[in-house]
Chains A and B, each alone.
Chain A
């Protein structure tokens, strides 16, 4: 699956966007993605999985754990794109959202 250019451009507001193919699927990778205000660190590499994975409609994977205003349930450390990620449990962000909206809703859990 390739993503519409306008949706990738929208992601560019958050950080440097590339598309990485792994296991036959494409994933948007946002390097130095801006975290919500008050998060530490304030920028982290994230990878958006806009497909069902591990029982979730969509997921957002972080290069490292982020301390936000709200506590989240960091519960898995999966390996994708040949690197290890941190991920919190968050359901209900559908794959029908635009990529940027998907990202925002996932990040909102930290805000």
Chain B
């Protein structure tokens, strides 16, 4: 089982490069540099062949020189990375390798194993889809990649195995506007939910109503009396029991549980389960927790949807408490929570100073519900792509006056032109650089 994730901005760059005309070659070729661990590869950069590296050939679309192959072999060794040959068949629909493609690749790809243990392979693109093959060793022969994901807004998932639970359901009719393939798309994506409490219980319940059958819930805590003001689905009988018990009861009442993973633990104890998710929704309380989730999501090229609510009690008698929060989407290659100024060094330092001394933060069910509902809408939009222009806003703020909209402060203090906190080239597992 190998799953390859490609950030959408990187795939756009690949397509743009491969569609340039060449003086003597019918088609262009490039190589995706991919890093991975445990069956998951993430594409981190793209290296095109130079114009001078193509040779004239009547038999194949792109014949390239031994110097080009040598350069790619060196690249695999220098980057300690998997290499995937990429070319483009144009048009639309699911592309397929030609017999000539596969014959050429059999002569090329096994050589990469001398430089890096792989897997290595090849991708063929169309205008709207990707197919791939991989070699797991120099002598394994090739096999189709099990899963390829283009990570953007929306997500595109191409998977060998069929999605679960695609039979008709009475609720489909009410969600028909999501598109004719919405059920398959919702079935193909795995959504991770970090935190099943004030915000996460709304998110989980709504995802089950929508029918997202591949769901992974991470929640280590037990239900406390004080949670009953906002933990949807919990009753007095749940006090002292794990919160995931509430999750299991609510979800099982609304959808099949075959592919629902409920983990009564912190996500760090099941990091492989987190990185298997196609979208993560974070419903956590602190800046350092959301910072850590986002780092892991960027590392494994996963969209991160974050909600956060803050209720500020008045410092002066006679003023109202301020109830405000935000939903933000952090997509690989785009602005992150630090760009949005949701995570700041000042807030992290304040948390470090306050640790253990803070009174429980005020929380209420209705404001959590607003933010959670926005997050679920974003997740459904990410997966189904039901709007032609997906996600017009990456961040929406619940303002103190109860209205929701894009943050106004970015007008006077604009976001940076591009994210400087995370680079696509830095994705993938940790690498020992000097032993």
A-side interface residues toward B, CB under 8 Å?
2, 8, 18-24, 26, 29, 52, 54-56, 73, 75-82, 84, 89, 91
By a CB distance below 8 angstroms, the chain B residues around A82 are 37, 271, 429-430
Q: Mask for B111-141, Cβ within 8 A of A = 1, else 0?
A: 0000000000000000000000000000000
Q: Given A19-B434, A20-B432, do A79 and B355 touch, yes or no (CB 8 Å)?
A: no
- B91 in contact (CB, < 8 A): no
- B202 in contact (CB, < 8 A): no
- B295 in contact (CB, < 8 A): yes
Q: Given A76-B288, A79-B296, do A26 and B356 touch, yes or no (CB 8 Å)?
A: no
Closest to B426 in A: A24
Going nearest first, the 7 A-B pairs with the smallest beta carbon separation are A55-B352, A24-B426, A55-B348, A55-B349, A22-B430, A19-B434, A81-B430
B351 contacts A18, C-beta separation under 8 Å: no
Closest to A25 in B: B426
A23 contacts B355, C-beta separation under 8 Å: no
Docked complex Cα distance between A89 and B269 (Å): 21
Docked complex Cα distance between A79 and B273 (Å): 14
A21 contacts B348, C-beta separation under 8 Å: no
Shortest CB–CB separation between residue B284 and chain A, in angstroms?
A: 13
Docked complex Cα distance between A91 and B350 (Å): 12
Closest to A59 in B: B352
Shortest CB–CB separation between residue B288 and chain A, in angstroms?
A: 5
A23 contacts B295, C-beta separation under 8 Å: yes
A21 contacts B299, C-beta separation under 8 Å: no
Shortest CB–CB separation between residue B259 and chain A, in angstroms?
A: 24
Closest to B295 in A: A23
B431 contacts A20, C-beta separation under 8 Å: yes
Q: Given A75-B356, A89-B355, A91-B352, do A18 and B426 touch, yes or no (CB 8 Å)?
A: no
Q: Given A20-B431, A54-B291, A77-B268, do A89 and B352 touch, yes or no (CB 8 Å)?
A: yes
By a CB distance below 8 angstroms, the chain B residues around A56 are 352
Docked complex Cα distance between A64 and B307 (Å): 32
Shortest CB–CB separation between residue B80 and chain A, in angstroms?
A: 10
B430 contacts A21, C-beta separation under 8 Å: yes
B-side interface residues toward A, CB under 8 Å?
37, 266, 268-269, 271, 288, 291-292, 295-296, 298-299, 345, 347-353, 355-356, 422-423, 425-426, 429-435
Shortest CB–CB separation between residue A77 and chain B, in angstroms?
A: 6
By a CB distance below 8 angstroms, the chain B residues around A76 are 288
Docked complex Cα distance between A55 and B351 (Å): 7
Shortest CB–CB separation between residue B428 and chain A, in angstroms?
A: 9
B268 contacts A84, C-beta separation under 8 Å: yes
Closest to A18 in B: B435
Docked complex Cα distance between A6 and B189 (Å): 49
By a CB distance below 8 angstroms, the chain A residues around B425 are 24
Closest to A57 in B: B349
Closest to A29 in B: B432
A23 contacts B268, C-beta separation under 8 Å: no
Closest to B429 in A: A82
Docked complex Cα distance between A20 and B348 (Å): 24
Residue pairs across A and B with Cβ atoms less than 8 A apart, 7 shown, are A23-B426, A56-B352, A78-B268, A79-B292, A80-B430, A82-B37, A82-B429
By a CB distance below 8 angstroms, the chain B residues around A23 are 295, 298-299, 422, 426
Shortest CB–CB separation between residue B302 and chain A, in angstroms?
A: 14
Shortest CB–CB separation between residue A82 and chain B, in angstroms?
A: 5
Docked complex Cα distance between A67 and B222 (Å): 28
Shortest CB–CB separation between residue B426 and chain A, in angstroms?
A: 3
Shortest CB–CB separation between residue A79 and chain B, in angstroms?
A: 4
Max chain B C-beta neighbours (<10 A), residue from A8, A56, A82: A82
By a CB distance below 8 angstroms, the chain A residues around B434 are 8, 18-19
Closest to A53 in B: B348
Max chain B C-beta neighbours (<10 A), residue from A18, A19, A55: A55
Shortest CB–CB separation between residue A52 and chain B, in angstroms?
A: 6
> What 13 new A-B contacts, CB under 8 Å, besides A20-B433, A23-B426, A55-B352?
A2-B433, A19-B432, A19-B433, A20-B430, A22-B431, A23-B299, A24-B425, A29-B432, A55-B348, A75-B355, A75-B356, A82-B271, A84-B269
